[in-house]
Amino acid sequence: MKQRIFTGAATALITPMNPDYSVNFTRLEQLVEEQITAGIDALVVCGTTGEKSTLRYDEHIKVIETATNKAAGRVPIIAGTGSNDTVYSVELCNDAESVGADAFLMVAPYYNKTSQAGLVAHYNYIADRVNKPIILYNVPSRTGVAIKPETYKELSKHEKIVAVKEANGDLSSVAQTKYLCGDDLDVYSGNDDQTVPIMSLGGVGVISVLSNFMPKLMHDICELYLSGNTQEALSLHIKHIGLMNSLFGDVNPIPVKEAMNLIGMNVGPCRLPLYTIDTPAKSLLIEKLKECGFDLK
């Protein structure tokens, strides 16, 4: 078996902003500490939820550095370093490693819409030139290209490619991936609402949006399931499924930042072009937060 980066729940951490849209690094340090204190198993920074696409290069590296310094080795810090420019990804990985990142989350190349053979070439090129393990990230709704199970099989032959964050919504594809790759590729759910279903297919956890403000819940769901308390894990999962789904009533991370601000966590706005939450989505979000016992500010 390859090196496992983490088991359980990792938070796809938001990037807190000041009112002028600059990164709030003081609040970022606080969030990292709050997450670790609550028992989260790992943190992903500068991913989709962390608004990677609107961070300048210097901000991107500083966010990773801030998180790694604050975590101080207590949990793995996984840096979002994917790009549709293969050589740029290598540079980003190397700079992320230089400031302390423990692993890389690498989204499939977006917009270019490369072939499956292109995906293999892209990821192997990067893996040959980095020193830390890689989690592939499959989210075709955003990238326009899906990583197929047979492609995972080929990529899993590389020692640095150890896992996938699977957000394609297709459980049959996840089952086929586990069948083809076995222990050569860990699978993490990339959708909160599929956490338990993917663990039932051999997954080892989740990279979660909800855990931005409910880290203990997502940790507990994973720990319960993986320790054999499957019914209790399922009950918790079902109890919170409405809230999980409400976080995707508008484009991520708009709803999760709205939720955090509503409950007093004060993480600021999203950067343009992401805008304020759609009114029906906000109404649903408020309803589900109240159902789960949150007092709104």
Residues with a known catalytic role: 137, 165
Residue 2 burial (CB < 10 Å; 0-12/13-18/19+)?
middle
59: which 2 tokens?
Answer: 């901000």
- Residue 125 carries which side chain, given as an amino acid letter? Y
CB atoms < 10 A from the CB of 297, how many? Answer: 9
198: which 2 tokens?
Answer: 């993917």
Cα angle value 55/39/23 (rounded, 5°):
20
Determine the 3-state secondary structure of 187 from DSSP: strand
Per-position DSSP letters for 259-282, written without gaps between them: HHHHTT----PPPTTS-SPPHHHH
Q: What is the CA radius of gyration of the chain?
A: 18
- Torsional class of 234: left (φ above 0), alpha (ψ -120 to 50), beta (otherwise): alpha
Determine the 3-state secondary structure of 202 from DSSP: coil
Query: Scanning the structure block, which residue is given the tokens 């790992």?
Result: 42
DSSP 297: -
d(CA 134, CA 183): 15
d(CA 294, CA 288): 9
